[in-house]
Structures are given as C-alpha cells and as structure tokens.
Amino acid sequence: MEKLIVKSPYMERATKMIKDAISKKIALLEHSRQQYHKRLDKFEKKYNVTSEHFIKEWAAEDLEGKDMEYVEWAGEYKLYLLLEEDLKILKSLEYVAK
C-alpha cells in the first residue's frame, strides 16, 4: 500500500481540514451518483437493458435517437464509472498518526 505523507507546522488543524475536505467531496460525489442513477435509469427502462450491457453490446443504430442518444447514454455511464472510482479511492483512505 502506498503512503501519502503530509507535513505541517499546524498538523492538528491541517489534518482536520483535510478530513473535512475529503468528507465534503465524498458527500458531493454520492449526491452526483444519485443524479447519474436517475439519468441512467431512464435509458435502462426505455430500452430494458442495463447500462453495462448497453456499453458492451449496443451501437447507435439500436437506439431511437441514434447517435445523439447513444453519445448521451455512453457519456453518462462513463462519467458514472469515473465517479464510482473516485468514491472508492476516497473511501479507501486511512488516516495514520505518527
């Protein structure tokens, strides 16, 4: 496991600030995840297929709106996956005092 070392003459306050910032970022990402779920859910219900299956198997020609709808759904899903990765990373952080 890699380590990130933070040094400051104000360590106690700096630690609190970093933890608060990360907590706020997690909350923001979790809110964004809910918004992505709503948008992806519309596509999934319309076409009765999961976003994961859509990305792997479908082409723009399979959709009513063709290219534009394909780009929108694919973009939303890819951004959702990046968001999930960011959340995973932030939630995996461990604070170790020296």
Contact 64, 58 (CB under 8 A): no
Indicate the burial class of 73 (C-beta count within 10 angstroms; 0-12, 13-18, 19 or more): buried
Mean pLDDT estimate for the chain: 91
3-state secondary structure 60-88: HHHCCCHHHHHHHHHHHHHHHHHHHHHHH
Q: Mean pLDDT throughout 24-34? A: 98
Residues of the chain with pLDDT > 70, as a percent, come to 96
Q: Mean pLDDT throughout 45-50? A: 92
Q: What stretches of the chain show up as alpha helix (H) in DSSP?
A: 11-47, 51-57, 66-92
Please tell me the predicted confidence (pLDDT) of residue 62.
67
Residue 68 predicted with pLDDT over 70: yes
Q: pLDDT-derived band of residue 3, with 50, 70 and 90 as boundaries?
A: confident
Q: Any idea where the domains of the chain sit in the sequence?
A: 33-91
Residue 98 predicted with pLDDT over 70: no
